[in-house]
Amino acid sequence: MASAFSHIAIPAVLYANFKNQAVNFKLLLMASICSVIPDADVIAFKFGISYQSQWGHRGFTHSIVFAVVLACICLLFYRRVNSRPWIVFWFCFISCVSHPLLDMMTNGGLGVALYWPFSEERVFFSFRPIQVSPIGVGRFFTENGFKVMASELMWVLMPSLLWVAIGAGLRRKYSK
């Protein structure tokens, strides 16, 4: 995983750039959950499921199909979040699928089963600048945790802020 902070950065940026009545705070909360939920698969370790298994960490929950299914489930609750179905779908889908895409830029662990169930192959991008985050919060506050934060700041949070700034600039320009 990259850390949860980095994963939530993606829906946060989308929200900051597109917020309106339909892209609202409730939807942001829902999408934030979508962005971190793939790592709920670490529970597989507790059940003795190996990392390599399609049911293990970075397995099926890190696939495009999982993101589509999750977004479809979220879509059912579009009234609850006072939004519109297709906005809920895309917001939640992008938030969820951004998770494995970010993981594919980390420099450790196994790749993600992005194409599950069509392929169980674990894939990475060839560009992998993000220091892999340790599994579990306890180990996050270590020297390695510091390295993780520094690399995520550089490769995820800074670009996110830049994106928000550019978005805000464009909105100001074109809303006149």
Chain residues that interact with Zn ion, rule: CB under 5 A: 1, 38-39, 103
Q: CA–CA separation, 13 vs 60, rounded Å?
A: 26
Dihedral angle computed from the Cα positions of residues 95, 69, 38 and 123, in that order, rounded to the nearest 10 degrees: -90
Cis omega (within 30 of 0) on the bond before 100? no
* Cβ at position 80, least distance to Zn ion in Å: 26
Which residue number is nearest to Zn ion in terms of Cβ? 1
- Residue placing its CB nearer to Zn ion in the complex, 23 or 105: 105
| C-beta separation of 70 from 34 below 8 A | yes
**Distance in Å, CB of 106 to Zn ion, minimum:** 8
Q: Shortest Cβ distance from residue 92 to Zn ion (Å)? A: 16
Query: Among residues 24 and 144, whose Cβ is nearest to Zn ion?
Result: 144
103 or 152, CB closer to Zn ion? 103
Q: Is 95 helix (H, G, I), strand (E, B) or coil?
A: helix
Nearer of residues 36 and 81 to Zn ion, judged by Cβ = 36
Residue 157 and residue 3 in contact, taking contact as beta carbons nearer than 8 Å: no
User: Considering the complex, what minimum distance in angstroms separates the CB of residue 58 from Zn ion?
Assistant: 6
Long-range pairs of 60-63 with CB within 8 A, sequence gap ≥ 24: 60/113, 60/116, 60/117, 61/37, 62/38, 62/99, 62/100, 62/103, 62/112, 62/113, 62/114, 62/116, 63/100, 63/112, 63/113, 63/114, 63/115, 63/116, 63/117
CB of 170 to Zn ion, least distance (A): 31
* Residue with Cβ nearer Zn ion (5 or 77): 5
